[in-house]
Amino acid sequence: MRKNKLTLSYLAKNIFVVVGLVLIWRGIWYALDSLDYLLFSGSHLWTALGGIIIGLLILYLPDKDLKEIEKL
């Protein structure tokens, strides 16, 4: 017998979680764009490279590997 039934409340809860995550991501995106404009006059090259490096470090440091990327 299945314990997890697909219900309206289950779907609503998950949709709210997804919307919340998207709104957080949107806020971070705009904040970083503003920072990019203030520090580098809108040149996205340096902040893009910095973002890639910081992102890889965030994925690498906890486990000392990049296996999280394999899940994509």
- The count of domains in the chain is 1
pLDDT tens-digit series, residues 17-70: 999 999 999 999 899 889 888 988 888 888 889 889 999 999 889 888 888 777
Residue 3 covered by a domain: no
Q: Whole-prediction pTM value?
A: 0.59
The residue range of the domain holding 44 is: 8-70
pLDDT at 1 over 60: no
Do the domain assignments include residue 2?
no
The answer to whether the beta carbons of residues 20 and 28 sit under 8 Å apart is no
Is 1 among the domain residues?
no
Residue 54: predicted pLDDT: 92
Please indicate, yes or no, if residue 30 is contained in any of the structural domains.
yes
**Predicted pLDDT at 44:** 83
Q: Identify whether the C-beta of residue 46 lies closer than 8 Å to the C-beta of residue 40.
A: yes
64 domain-assigned: yes
The pLDDT score that the predictor gives to residue 4 is: 63
Given this model, what pLDDT does residue 43 score? 82
Phi-psi label, residue 64: left if phi above 0, alpha if psi -120 to 50, beta otherwise: left
